[in-house]
Structure 1
């Protein structure tokens, strides 16, 4: 690092050095800055500093010309949980070391190389050797420098939108960071244009998703599934062999014994002999920060998602397209995010005074949100106002245990569901060796108030958390005591993996599957229309190659996903 700092001083002393500054946002909330020092010789020094929900992150990168080569280093945080340490050299011959550190200046340099190379369809990554594609999307007037701004789509694994001015300077970057969260960076000169650029970037991302995935699923008004083994979740997991499903206009019109005479002549027929049928899975804790996440969920067997906190405009647009018949997307339910006044808060929507709480909950309700999610810096008094206001719209209050409080107050005063099992760690008693007896008052309270738990075991199991075995014990304890569990990933892994974690915790295979189907449908008061394979319910169906009641990993072995009138063949 000393060498980098010495180089920084040399460039700083250059009479032609200049400084570019950008502001970093997460979910439209300012969290940090990026600064780039630019030397007269084309050298660049980049520094990124942020505070993401109380986690201080920093990264230093250098881009230095050494003879015919360019030496690139990058050391520091790429998110709250990830770091990078890069020290490499490359020749600028149509390649570039674009990484995942989120630097808007590095994107600007990448585009410079792309322009020099004649604006080809892709530039090769000097880090991974993968193709990084670039496409021109459109323009808008440049209110700062005159002329126009150009929107580019850059795909280094996931679409990002970069806006450049006529000097090829990067002015706005929209994408997802290394922990899959929505992130924007803007040139401070363009700060007043943030909202416009953010919304237009979302529109382009959605437009590209729809264009690139329009052939992903096949559309049929009538679908007949024949010879299937239907798993009846309401009848102890009983297998109904050689069965038939008739799906009409996105609903289950018939479920029962195979009867080919009932099949209309224009029906699309799926021979499901040897296959096992479940209702589509639910992901009860997701954050749809990018349109591509819709496909990720759908192809993993999820036909209904509860978004647990997002940018208002983005999730509203995604909900709208998901409701369209031919769009490859799961059904989307949404919890509107509220956090308190704190430099560590998440998102831009606050729940910290009565007037603001009322206005924000009304906004969420009127936009079709189902619930209100509280986050880590909500105060007790504001929580009470949130519950009262949400109930006036028949909206449940769900989410985190706010910092500095015990769980009992929120259970007693209107919390309907608690996310993340680790919040129970400091509220559990371990005396006497019998967890059930030691924690009977807490368990009784959870049952009395009909609290649902959204444990997100993937978050701990897939990130190497050493307490994961404790968390699995808690899940088994609460489940055995009658507290309903709903499966959610918090964008870590798949629902199938979350369900497998419940089996590792000691739940039966059937109960683990129910936590991702009928139980969440019941929680959301939608069990009369979804969550099981019954006549009149939504035609959300999962065809598996193996029986998940014999081997829970069968949830990974998907043959076909059906969502309404769309068939997705894996």
Structure 2
């Protein structure tokens, strides 16, 4: 009896061991966090469409970009086979904590907390529009820093943010909104960072760094958004701007220069800034300098179109001598000149001047101004990532990069307007929008 019992016991152990070894000898199926099957992918590195692509995602990163013929190896696939996927889009000139287009309220009469509340709403609108990263350059009272940190901690949904804090401007310069107030109405603290002279500019940069900004913004000319400010007129000297650049460089920070007029653009480029914001009234010499120095140009055609064409604002105090239609045509011509000359151009829409969430409408304006569809997309992906300094982490759909992926119906290289209707948004492996049927 004991022999029989022991025989069957040993036989059972052998059979179990054989089955286990057999199972272990088979290749184990991968278990990625997400698997995306795309009908087409915009390969921004190769400037082409790749058909039938499988994307494997683990821990928020892309671990494999493969052919769709391997789809049978995986379960729970996100089926985007009827869609075109792109890298998450990047807007390099955003203002998530501002709604300057909204004239129903006087924003300067509201509590400071108002900017953070607006920011939470605008951040979500921007993200679901397909923009997984923004460079936010002008955060009132460092509200952009707080918004960035809240998004990073996943307290609220929004795009990844790289922020500048308040723009540094001279007394009476663009953004010095006290300039139109009577003396007895002066604000306790100006929404801009006022600095006059090299030493004050350095101090403001140090103050910004102390508050945790990612870059510095300085105004090199007047602007359209400040009463009495002349967009074409230079403000800071080359020496003052260079002080900001030198101080920022100590901490590895880049400097963006708000500049419409040609003289201010030249001052900023010679001083060593990284990007020119707007560039609306530049001349051929300014374009040549930007090209020679490798400076990025961020032209906000959408904000210009919204202000000059849609709203047709009265800019009679700007001493420009042109109608809004003539000015906008001039902006488009300058955009095309800079593009044709090979200036590095990054996508930036100046959101907040127009209602948030409409960012992608700028792609069509860029194409109308002479840019090819693929170059317009590159400006909001790999080139934008290079400007910010995160090209090793995002800007293209590649192994090792963040899983920032958006999907649209149709081919954006044939019809760029399809980017205005993003159906699927993933940021760092987390799905924030999925309208796929």
**For residue 342 of structure 1, what is the aligned residue in structure 2?**
172
Structure 1 or 2: more helix by fraction: 2
**Structure 1 position 474 matched with structure 2 position 334:** yes
Cα deviation, residue 330, structure 1: 0.5
Contact 1:230 1:277 in 2 (8 A): yes
Q: Of residues 258, 274, 277 in structure 1, which corresponds to 2:85?
A: 277
Quote the Cα distance in structure 1 between the aligned partners of 2:208 and 2:36: 39
Quote the Cα distance in structure 1 between the aligned partners of 2:423 and 2:52: 17
**Structure 1 position 462 matched with structure 2 position 320:** no
Q: TM-score w.r.t. structure 2 length?
A: 0.71
**For residue 62 of structure 2, what is the aligned residue in structure 1?**
252
Cα deviation, residue 540, structure 1: 0.7
- Structural mapping, 1:242-391, within 5 Å: 242-258=52-68, 259-260=70-71, 262-263=73-74, 269-289=77-97, 290=118, 291-325=120-154, 327-336=156-165, 337-342=167-172, 345-346=176-177, 347-375=191-219, 376=221, 379-380=236-237, 381-391=239-249
Contact 2:409 2:418 in 1 (8 A): yes
Q: Of residues 401, 416, 419 in structure 1, which corresponds to 2:274?
A: 416
What secondary structure does 1:365 align onto?
helix
Cα deviation, residue 355, structure 1: 4.8
Deviations 1:455-501 (A, max 9, x none): 10112222313122221121111111110111111122533111111
**For residue 396 of structure 2, what is the aligned residue in structure 1?**
532
Alpha-carbon distance change, 528 to 505 in structure 1, aligned in 2, over 3 angstroms: same
What secondary structure does 1:537 align onto?
coil
Quote the Cα distance in structure 1 between the aligned partners of 2:84 and 2:176: 45
**Structure 1 position 400 matched with structure 2 position 252:** no
Contact 2:346 2:379 in 1 (8 A): yes
Unaligned runs of 5+ in 1: 1-219, 429-438
Cα deviation, residue 569, structure 1: 1.7
Cα deviation, residue 327, structure 1: 3.6
Alpha-carbon distance change, 457 to 360 in structure 1, aligned in 2, over 3 angstroms: same
Quote the Cα distance in structure 2 between the aligned partners of 1:454 and 1:403: 14
Alpha-carbon distance change, 364 to 232 in structure 1, aligned in 2, over 3 angstroms: same
C-alpha root-mean-square deviation of aligned residues, in Å?
2.3
Deviations 1:76-135 (A, max 9, x none): xxxxxxxxxxxxxxxxxxxxxxxxxxxxxxxxxxxxxxxxxxxxxxxxxxxxxxxxxxxx
Q: TM-score w.r.t. structure 1 length?
A: 0.55
Structure 1 or 2: more strand by fraction: 1
**For residue 381 of structure 2, what is the aligned residue in structure 1?**
517
Cα deviation, residue 445, structure 1: 1.5
What secondary structure does 2:77 align onto?
strand
Alpha-carbon distance change, 450 to 403 in structure 1, aligned in 2, over 3 angstroms: closer
Cα deviation, residue 557, structure 1: 2.4
**For residue 431 of structure 1, what is the aligned residue in structure 2?**
none
Cα deviation, residue 363, structure 1: 3.4
Quote the Cα distance in structure 1 between the aligned partners of 2:250 and 2:281: 28
Contact 1:379 1:402 in 2 (8 A): no
Q: Identify the structure with bigger relative contact order (alpha carbons < 8 Å, sequence gap 6+).
A: 2
Cα deviation, residue 261, structure 1: 5.1
